[in-house]
Amino acid sequence: MIWKMQHDHETYKMLFLKILDYIKEYRATGFLSDIRKEGIVAPISSNWVQTEIMPKAFALGLKKIAVIMDADVFKKFYIKTIEKAAGSDRIQYFDHYEPANEWLRS
C-alpha cells in the first residue's frame, strides 16, 4: 500500500477492509505499507486498526508488516501504537523498498 495523502476515518476503514480482502483472497503472509505521504492518522483510525484489523489480518495468516517511513515524529508515534498490536517481531521499519521486500521474503 502506498499512501499518497491523508484520509478521513471512513476512507481509512474502507482501505483497510480492502486490504483484509486481499490478504484472504491471495493468502498473503506479508504486507508493505509506504506511509511517507500518509499524513497524520486520527486516533480513532489508529485504534480501529489495532482492535479490528490487526487481529483479523493475523488470523487470516499475515505474518509480517514492512513499513516504509521517514523520521516524522507523528508517524513514529502512530507506528509505535500499531507495533503494540502487531508485536515487535512482526513489524519492521525501513526507509527504502529493497530491504523491506527482502525482509518480507525471508
As a whole number of angstroms, the distance between CA 98 and CA 76 comes to 21
25 vs 89 pLDDT, higher one: 25
Q: Domain-by-domain residue ranges, the chain?
A: 9-105
Q: What percent of the chain has pLDDT over 70?
A: 98
Residue with cell 484489523: 53
Is it the case that residue 81 has pLDDT exceeding 80? no
Give the position of cell 471512513. Answer: 10
CATH (residue range 9-105): 3.40.525.10
Selection from 42, 44, 30, 50 nearest residue 94 by Cα: 30
Q: Cβ(64)–Cβ(92) under 8 Å?
A: yes
- Report whether pLDDT(70) > 70: yes
- Within 13 Å, how many C-alpha atoms sit on residue 90's CB side? 20
